[in-house]
Amino acid sequence: MSQSLAKMLSGTELLEKVQALGDLPKEEKARHCGYYTVTKNGVERVNMMKFYNALIEAKGIELDSKQSSNGRGGRSASYKISVQSNGNLLIGAAYTKQMSLEPGDEFEITLGRKHIHLKQLGEEDRVD
């Protein structure tokens, strides 16, 4: 499981830090503001989406209000999926975003007679 090494800045503190970092590339700004994790293999990954979302929130921009009048706004989760032609079940990004899941998050699968149960594994649940 990945772990964050620094406090993720937010609000005014985030805006001031980004401004102070001047002409650094956006990935470096995100990293300096704490928006990165280090995997168990020591690989550093910058989380640009969390960084951008924090910037939007810090600037007071409301994106989650009402759906625009032109009918756009993306698909919402329907809580139904179908088995694909290759036999896979795909759980879309709407679900993973709603749960704030990140690449590498692990789940335990339990099969029932007519259900599949996914349990997200926390650090204490993992056996390495």
E strand spans, 13-74: 36-38, 44-46
Compute the distance between CA of residue 112 and CA of residue 104 in angstroms, rounded to an integer.
25
Q: pLDDT for 23-68, tens place per residue?
A: 999 999 999 999 998 888 888 899 999 999 999 888 887 766 544 4
Compute the distance between CA of residue 106 and CA of residue 99 in angstroms, rounded to an integer.
13
Instruction: Provide the number of structural domains found in the chain.
Output: 2
List Cα–Cα distances, 15 to 29, 46, 56, 86, 99, in angstroms: 11, 18, 10, 46, 26
* 71 falls within a domain: no
Question: Do 85 and 128 fall within a single domain?
Answer: yes
For residue 9, the model assigns a pLDDT of 93
* CA-closest candidate to residue 105, choices 118, 116, 86: 118
Question: Do 87 and 43 fall within a single domain?
Answer: no
* 106 falls within a domain: yes
* 69 falls within a domain: no
Question: Do 54 and 94 fall within a single domain?
Answer: no
* 5 falls within a domain: no
CATH code for the domain of 122: 2.10.260
Task: Please give the mean pLDDT across all residues of the chain.
Answer: 81
Q: Pick the range with the lowest mean pLDDT from 51-55, 75-79, 96-100.
A: 75-79
* 127 falls within a domain: yes
pLDDT at 69 over 50: no
Domain carrying residue 113: 79-128
Compute the distance between CA of residue 6 and CA of residue 32 in angstroms, rounded to an integer.
9
3-state SS class at 116: strand
The whole-model pTM stands at: 0.47
